[in-house]
A and B are shown apart, each in its own frame.
Chain A
Amino acid sequence: MTKLTLGPIAYHWSAETRRDFYARIADEAPVDEVYLGEVICSKRAPFHEADLPATIERLERAGKTVIVSSLAEVMLKRERKATADLAAMERPEIEVNNAAGLFERGARPHRIGPFMNAYNEATIRWMAGQGATHVCLPPEMPAEAIAAAAEAAGALGLGVEVQVFGRASLAVSARCYHARSHGRTKDNCQFVCEEDPDGMPLSTRDDTPILRVNGIQTQSESYVDLLPETARLIGDGVTHLRLMPQAADMVAVAAVFRQVLDGALEVAEADARLAALCEGTGLANGFYHGTAGYRRIAMAAPA
């Protein structure tokens, strides 16, 4: 049975916003698994990590499987310590996003996050041999590669996850571009990223929206939308579909995907609802179709 998951919040949402968000997810969102934890910026973690145990308890009580994700970039002492602490956890499950986490975790079971660059069957086989139980593929992978990776992972008994909704992570950097845009540096950022709960929009000099800045991360302007492709993903062996939290009604987004998975809603109708939920934000599936990520490729009519 295909699982619907909610990825970790990429943005600097306040502790209160997060508490409200996860309370609603626990009560109302038809997702099976929820990833928590700070993945992007180690400076943000102190704002919300104290709530982590309560959030885990709340979500598990609602029947969700909880996984805590590790930082994508590990360089500073506090980032190394955060990674080591996470790797030492017995439960819940953890998702590793940096090789430092793999080193710390050793052969104990763990999931592989989308920042780990598990692009192919050889790498997935290696990771499975080192204790990986599940792999989330990089968002830029095309359909053929997803199918080949899923087949190999499935044969090894691993779960295979693909992001089907939300902004794609396009890059991370040591530099904070949020701070830079305000003439600050990462060390004196004053957490200005909190002002942009869905990322800071960048547009070209001829006014075309192009990218979003989220601290050290650069994201796609458009939301990935693989709703029309879910049947093929599942047919190709993908076991988990990931929704990334955006500043949209995520409960409603999850409900649309759930209804399609349950066969309770036609894809065309579902996709129209999804577009309405995303208001002015473009939807894209170019990466999946092996073309520019920002593009929206119409599904071919059934043969």
Chain B
Amino acid sequence: MSLAELICPAGTPAALRTAVDAGADAVYCGFQDATNARNFPGLNFTPDELQDAVVYAHMRGAKVLLALNTYPPAGRVDLWREAADAGARIGVDAFIVADMGVADYIARTHPQVRLHLSVQAAASSPEAIRYYCDNFGVKRVVLPRILTIAEIRELRKEIPCEIETFIFGNHGLMVEGRCSLTNYLTGQSTNMDGVCSPASDVEYVRGADGSLSSQLAGFTIDRFGADEKAGYPTICKGRYAAPHRPEGYYAFEEPVSLNLSRLLPELIEAGVHAFKIEGRQRSKSYVRNVVAAFRAAVDDIRAGREANIADLVALTEGQKQTQGAFETKKWR
């Protein structure tokens, strides 16, 4: 059976302490700049804050993983190198990377620090994963959210590194690290700037008929009737019209949240080493509830007890949830 580490989000120092106290085996976080894929206002760490966070986590037996998982545009690579140097100096337990240039730099300059391959690298085959393991010494791959459990089980036999999968939280539809939708509408890039459907470009506009449009950079991503709850305008979760679907439909996916709690025992059995909870942008109380519930469930499963899955299912209370690609190929 795998170790089934719980990898928890930390958007702020307070969220990091909360996650550690609630039982995280590791937390992941980023600096306050484009070097990570959650470069949102008010989030993330200064080097000093990260230093304190690492001390706090290590004293309690938890690891700190630093996300350097965006793609530096040419001419700006130094920002990523400096972030890696700072992380190494501070003593983070691993870097989460996507860009080959960044991976190469860390492998050569800081070989003592573990490298994890970010989901942003979109490595979804044994060959792609082995490319990163062979060339950069990657010790763990965060799998794209597109494989079924049966496929993960097979993959496990063919790669020389650990597997981490997302189990809970926001569920992106596009292959991570290959999506420029936000840049197309807003001019800010997910890959280069760490930005996705940014709040600064969001507007909710009330129509004469009482409907509410949720807009991103002036584009109506969805429109809601007076009796509907308006959602955030994430491009891949909007409603659009096609010639044969003039009424508008969720062309990519409904606004659902990933929740694999029911599949947790199977994922552990399939050999997944670590489970990642999405949500660096979420509140402390959210982090506390989700981490504590998954901690209890993973401990139960590892001790051979029946896990109280109902608590985990209830976490997405009021929200639609999905098991995404993990349960069946029909998702595709």
Q: Which residue of B lies closest to A284 (CB)?
A: B184
A210-B187 CB under 8 A given contacts A145-B74, A145-B75, A149-B74: no
List residues of A (105-130) whose CB comes within 8 Å of B's CBs: 115, 117, 119-127, 130
B137 at interface (Cβ–Cβ under 8 A)?
A: no
Contact A171 B178 (CB under 8 A): yes
Identify the B interface with A (CB < 8 A): 71-77, 98-102, 104-105, 121, 123-128, 130-132, 134-135, 144, 146-147, 151, 173-175, 177-181, 183-187, 189, 191-192, 213, 217, 219-223, 236, 238-245, 248-249, 251-253, 325, 329-332
Contact B332 A170 (CB under 8 A): no
A103-B243 CB under 8 A given contacts A120-B76, A146-B74, A205-B220: no
The residues of B that contact A204 with a CB separation of less than 8 Å are 219-221, 238, 240-241
Q: What is the distance, in angstroms, from A89's C-beta to the closest C-beta of chain B?
A: 16
The residues of B that contact A138 with a CB separation of less than 8 Å are 180, 191
Contact among A74, A180, A205 with B248 in the assembled complex (CB-CB below 8 Å): A205
Which one of B100, B191, B239 has the highest number of Cβ atoms from chain A below 10 Å of its Cβ? B100
A265 at interface (Cβ–Cβ under 8 A)?
A: no
Q: What is the distance, in angstroms, from A233's C-beta to the closest C-beta of chain B?
A: 14
Contact A99 B128 (CB under 8 A): yes
| Complexed CA–CA distance, A79 and B100 (Å) | 23
Q: What is the distance, in angstroms, from B70's C-beta to the closest C-beta of chain A?
A: 9
A148-B75 CB under 8 A given contacts A83-B127, A172-B174, A181-B245: yes
A75 at interface (Cβ–Cβ under 8 A)?
A: yes
Identify the A interface with B (CB < 8 A): 72-75, 79-80, 83-84, 98-100, 102-104, 115, 117, 119-127, 130, 138-142, 144-149, 152, 168-177, 180-182, 185-187, 200-208, 210-211, 213, 218, 220, 286-287, 290-295
| Complexed CA–CA distance, A200 and B57 (Å) | 50
Contact A213 B175 (CB under 8 A): no
| Complexed CA–CA distance, A211 and B101 (Å) | 31
Contact B242 A213 (CB under 8 A): yes
| Complexed CA–CA distance, A103 and B181 (Å) | 28
Contact B75 A144 (CB under 8 A): yes
Q: Which residue of B lies closest to A179 (CB)?
A: B332
Contact B100 A75 (CB under 8 A): no
| Complexed CA–CA distance, A12 and B72 (Å) | 33
Contact B184 A174 (CB under 8 A): no
Contact B130 A187 (CB under 8 A): no
Contact A140 B223 (CB under 8 A): no
The residues of A that contact B77 with a CB separation of less than 8 Å are 120-122
Contact A117 B191 (CB under 8 A): yes
Contact B192 A140 (CB under 8 A): yes
A200-B243 CB under 8 A given contacts A140-B192, A187-B332: yes
Q: What is the distance, in angstroms, from A146's C-beta to the closest C-beta of chain B?
A: 7
A186-B128 CB under 8 A given contacts A120-B74, A168-B180: no
Given contacts A142-B73, A286-B184, 17 further A-B contacts (CB under 8 A): A79-B125, A99-B128, A103-B130, A117-B71, A120-B71, A124-B74, A141-B73, A170-B180, A173-B174, A180-B252, A186-B329, A187-B330, A203-B241, A206-B213, A211-B181, A293-B183, A293-B187
The residues of B that contact A79 with a CB separation of less than 8 Å are 125
Could you list some 16 contacts between A and B, CB below 8 A? Answer: A75-B146, A75-B147, A80-B126, A84-B127, A100-B131, A117-B178, A119-B99, A126-B101, A175-B325, A187-B330, A202-B241, A204-B221, A205-B222, A210-B185, A290-B187, A291-B187
